[in-house]
Amino acid sequence: MNKNKSNLLIVNIFFGLIPMSFILGNFAINLNIVILFLLSLFFYYEKLQYLKFNSLDKIITFFFIYIFYVLIINFFEARFSNQALPSIIITKTFFYFRYYLLYISLRLLVSQNLLKLNWFFLSCAFCSIFVCLDVYFQYFFGKDIFRITPISLRNLSGPFGQELIAGGYIQRFSLFALFLPFIFKQKKAFNKFLILSLFVFIFTTGIILSGNRMPLILYIFSLFLIGLFKKNWKKQFISLSVIFIIILTLFYYNNKSFRYNSGNFYRSTKHLINVFSDKNISIKQDIIVNRSSYVNEFYSFYDIWKKNIYFGGGIRSYRANCPRCNSHPHNYYLEILDDLGLFGFFIIIILISFILHKAFIKKYIFKLQHGFDQKILALFYILFIEFFPIRSSGSFFSTNNASFIFIALALLVSLIERYKKIEENKNLKN
């Protein structure tokens, strides 16, 4: 094997290990990010000159510059007020820059056709199935294959130990698997249907057994979106929906944990809507009497946001400014408003709008582009679900979420740029 091939193999191995690093934890994710960046810099530094920034790259670059600008503003405001800016805001801001390095590394590698994205999709599918099987093992035997005992019979963590995030992991990475039959261009429709049916069964039961309610809702929504816009596959997706409904029904009537989690989710959602829609209900009183954590976080978000509406308090300022609250308000948009203000919020909205236009509206509404790479559609659905407004979520700035978001963004932007060049070359030939 010559040097170029060995370099290429090493980079793709570490890139393919990304889904596994999410299972191993934050240390593994950060280590993988650093190694991938250093390998890209060491092996392909000279190719950086060929990386041309498009509009999406510029928006993302401006977003990271703005984050540092917010830090500077808050630093001097604190100094003028004879106060000390919490150290967590300073450290988190500087360390957050590693995601920009990750983004640029992946943009470079994909733009130069150095990454084997099919390997990555296969790795995501394999790891998603592995987590599901580990959750099954934990359900039937009381311990998973690593001898981890669940902290609750209603919530199975699989390989994640004390963290109840198995359902979220499956929901995210399983979407890569659902597009595998289309990416590998399986010709026989029946074979595609069998593969997808198996995937839907494995992932649905895995998420249900994990006890994570929001990932299940998002997974249902993602299946609906895929079925809605896959024109040639509407009948097959109707059949898959029937299988999905049967699975849910069987679990609801035969699994007490699923029935309890479903009822509790309904009651919590109904309570949350009532509190914020009924003017006669005192929000503060509800927090005191019912100890509603989500109501408390949403209410506290507004109090903190009012302190710095336009620029926010800086990354992780919600945690610093609201010690009685959770570490984040459980919604990306509310957290961005708190930490980066209205201007940061608008940057994210502009970025999402550009992606929506380039990867979806042109494809399905204006029908200007045909034969889109299936990986583009997969990544678009993944990011669309990730940024769905009315969902509870982890912190936008956490290692787990930020890594996933900027990996998906880098791949999507690169593939859109590649497709654009292919279309331009076709037009020139014509």
Q: What are the pLDDT digits (tens) for 368-384? A: 555 567 888 889 999 99
Give the burial string for 41-57 (b: 16+ CB within 10 Å, else e): eebbeeeeeebeeeebb
For residue 145, give the DSSP letter. Answer: T
Greatest Cα pair distance, the chain, in angstroms, is: 74
How far CA 237 is from CA of 176, 187, 195, 396, in Å, comes to 17, 17, 12, 32
Which of 96-105, 270-279, 331-340 shows the lowest per-residue confidence on average (mean pLDDT)? Answer: 270-279
Q: 65 CB contacts (<8 Å, ≥6 apart)?
A: none
- Give residue-wise pLDDT tens across range 124-170: 999 999 999 999 999 889 899 988 888 877 789 999 988 889 999 99
Please tell me the predicted confidence (pLDDT) of residue 12.
Answer: 95
Please tell me the predicted confidence (pLDDT) of residue 289.
Answer: 45
Please tell me the predicted confidence (pLDDT) of residue 207.
Answer: 93
- Report d(CA 48, CA 63) in Å as an integer: 21
- Give residue-wise pLDDT tens across range 271-303: 556 655 555 555 555 544 455 555 666 667 777
Mean pLDDT of the residues in the chain: 84
Q: Using an 8 Å Cβ cutoff, are 118 and 85 in contact?
A: no
Please tell me the predicted confidence (pLDDT) of residue 422.
Answer: 77
Please tell me the predicted confidence (pLDDT) of residue 383.
Answer: 93
Q: Is the pLDDT higher at 359 or at 279?
A: 359
Q: Using an 8 Å Cβ cutoff, are 162 and 173 in contact?
A: no
Q: Using an 8 Å Cβ cutoff, are 137 and 145 in contact?
A: yes
Phi, psi of 152 (to 5 degrees): -150, 140
Angle at Cα 273 formed by Cα 269 and Cα 276, nearest 5°?
140
Q: Give the residue-averaged pLDDT of 217-238.
A: 76
Pick from 46-60, 184-198, 299-313, 399-413 the range whose average pLDDT is largest: 399-413
Please tell me the predicted confidence (pLDDT) of residue 165.
Answer: 92
Q: Give the residue-averaged pLDDT of 229-236.
A: 65
- Give residue-wise pLDDT tens across range 14-40: 999 999 999 999 999 999 999 999 999
What is the torsion angle, in degrees rounded to the nearest 10, for the CA atoms of residue 215, residue 221, residue 225 and residue 227? Answer: 100
Structure tokens at 83: 């106060």
Please tell me the predicted confidence (pLDDT) of residue 287.
Answer: 47
- Report d(CA 242, CA 234) in Å as an integer: 12
Closest CA to 20 of 124, 109, 101: 124
- Indicate the pLDDT class of residue 358, thresholds 50, 70 and 90: confident
- Report d(CA 138, CA 176) in Å as an integer: 24
Helix axes 55-80, 98-111, angle to 10 degrees: 170
Please tell me the predicted confidence (pLDDT) of residue 323.
Answer: 59
Please tell me the predicted confidence (pLDDT) of residue 288.
Answer: 41
- Report d(CA 164, CA 154) in Å as an integer: 10
- In the predicted structure, residue 391 carries a pLDDT above the cut 80: yes
For residue 368, give the DSSP letter. Answer: -
Pick from 321-325, 334-338, 366-370 the range whose average pLDDT is largest: 334-338
Is the pTM here over 0.75, yes or no? yes
Q: 415 CB contacts (<8 Å, ≥6 apart)?
A: 110, 117, 373, 375, 376, 379
- Indicate the pLDDT class of residue 252, thresholds 50, 70 and 90: confident
- Indicate the pLDDT class of residue 244, thresholds 50, 70 and 90: confident
Closest CA to 23 of 154, 124, 140: 124
Which of 93-107, 119-133, 360-374 shows the lowest per-residue confidence on average (mean pLDDT)? Answer: 360-374
% of the chain at pLDDT higher than 90: 43
Side-chain-side CA neighbours of 413 within 13 Å: the count stands at 27
- The amino acid occupying position 213 is R
